[in-house]
Structure 1
Amino acid sequence: MSFTGRCACGAVTATITAEAPVAVRQCWCHQCQKVASGGSTNNAIFPAESVTVSGALGQHGYTAPSGNSLTQYFCPQCGTAVMAQSSGRMHLRTFRLGFLDPGHGLVPDTVIWTAEAPEWAQVDDRGNAYADQGPPPAAPVGQ
């Protein structure tokens, strides 16, 4: 299976040739809450070599609690969040589920940074949950 995605205005598109993501996570860290206007982000992590992005991207970088640099990419025309890149995991790209085209069928099975979730948050308890970053996603085969 492959995945495609596009921003709200169509200026940024992506094709992902991976058969499946390395991980699908929901994140409640404070930075993700800012990006998501108060809620969590929902993300699918793919091997970088399986990703092709077309169109101009805006970016914003910061230092994550891990000490790694995290860069958030978005469409500069419509503001749609596209993906993130961690300096600690250059072999991976983290795409926002909302950027991916409908029908992808991906559901977060891990929730991270629950310690930073607001008390009103509805934290999904069907999968693994971690108060902090939790274990890193598995490396793609051959890495």
Structure 2
Amino acid sequence: MARSGRCACGAVTLKLEGEPVAVRQCWCRQCQQIAAGGPTHNAMFPTESVHFSGELAASSWIAASGNTLTFHFCPRCGTQAYAQSSARPQFRTVRLGFIDEPHGLKPEMAIWTAEAPAWAQIDPAIPQFSQMPPSPNPAPSGS
């Protein structure tokens, strides 16, 4: 399924091919800081399936996992576009808010729940990982 997306001001657009290999809700402290206190909601796609048009800015830091995380965003409006981990260059982790609705995606797991605030509402029906889960396998070709 092809999906599209855009930032809040429309300066950056997105085309996605195929299905994500994982859809996650992340409660790590860095995600809480960039998401106004709550989690980020992300879909991991193979890098070759993600196509952005327009200028993106980036910022990097060392995550609690020890990996370098690079966050890409629109420099005009600040909308978060995607993140990429040094440990998983084969994936781009696209923010669900960047993808046009209806995209039909929802978190399949919650990660870094050990760092969630006491008031966090985490769906008990999805798997939860206190820290980083194992890396997903790449999607089969043609899916």
Coarse TM-score class (shorter-chain normalised) = over 0.9
Paired-residue identity, %? 55
Shift of 1:81: 0.6
Alignment of 1:74-89 (within 5 A): 74-89=73-88
Deviations 1:81-135 (A, max 9, x none): 1000111110100000001001001010100000000000001112110111122
Structure 1 stretches of at least 4 aligned residues deviating more than 3 Å after TM superposition: none
Give 2:37's aligned amino acid. G
Structure 2: tracts of 5 or more residues without a match: none
Alignment of 1:1-143 (within 5 A): 1-18=1-18, 20-141=19-140
CA contact (8 A) 2:20 2:139 kept: no
Give 2:91's aligned amino acid. L
Aligned to 1:129, what secondary structure does the other structure show?
coil
CA RMSD of aligned residues (A): 1.0
CA contact (8 A) 1:109 1:126 kept: no
Cα distance in structure 2, aligned partners of 1:97 and 1:33: 15
Deviations 1:3-38 (A, max 9, x none): 1110000001110112x1000000000000001010
CA contact (8 A) 1:13 1:55 kept: yes
Cα distance in structure 1, aligned partners of 2:136 and 2:111: 12
Which one is further off, 58-67 or 78-87? 58-67
Shift of 1:140: 3.1
Cα distance in structure 2, aligned partners of 1:68 and 1:127: 25
Deviations 1:23-76 (A, max 9, x none): 000000000000101000000000001111111011110011222110001100
Q: TM-score, normalised by structure 1?
A: 0.95
